[in-house]
Amino acid sequence: AQSVTQLDSHVSVSEGTPVLLRCNYSSSYSPSLFWYVQHPNKGLQLLLKYTSAATLVKGINGFEAEFKKSETSFHLTKPSAHMSDAAEYFCVVSVTGNQFYFGTGTSLTVIP
């Protein structure tokens, strides 16, 4: 079975400081992992994805995530937060394209 746990429902950072959004997964098979961002009243935008290639994945807008099998984690990071990063972030695990398992989401607030 597959599942995702986003460890923080809400994260607050000051503008210009690092961002860390935590995600742990559970999967019976080699998973693919995704991070999506959702701005208010908008659809989902793919930030980055891991599909069994390099374990450090670079995405859009300066975000990156590292797949750590030993820790079953896929945490999302960004060196310096920008006001426009304020949004809801979802971690997703999948084994096939037909089964997408969403985390409960992390709301990121960026303080000016």
Partner 1 sequence: GAVVSQHPSWVICKSGTSVKIECRSLDFQATTMFWYRQFPKQSLMLMATSNEGSKATYEQGVEKDKFLINHASLTLSTLTVTSAHPEDSSFYICSTNRGPIYNEQFFGPGTRLTVL
Q: How far is the CB of 2 from partner 1 (least distance, A)?
A: 12
17 or 52: CB nearest partner 1: 52
Considering the complex, what minimum distance in angstroms separates the CB of residue 84 from partner 1? Answer: 18
| Least distance (Å) between residue 80 CB and partner 1 | 26
Sites of contact with partner 1 (CB under 8 A): 32, 34, 36, 41-44, 46, 49, 51, 88, 90, 94-98, 100, 102-105, 107
DSSP string, the chain: --EEEES-SEEEEETTS-EEE-EEEE-SS--EEEEEEE-TT--EEEEEEE-SS-SEEE-GGG-EEEEETTTTEEEEEESS--GGG-EEEEEEEESSTT-EEE---EEEEEE-
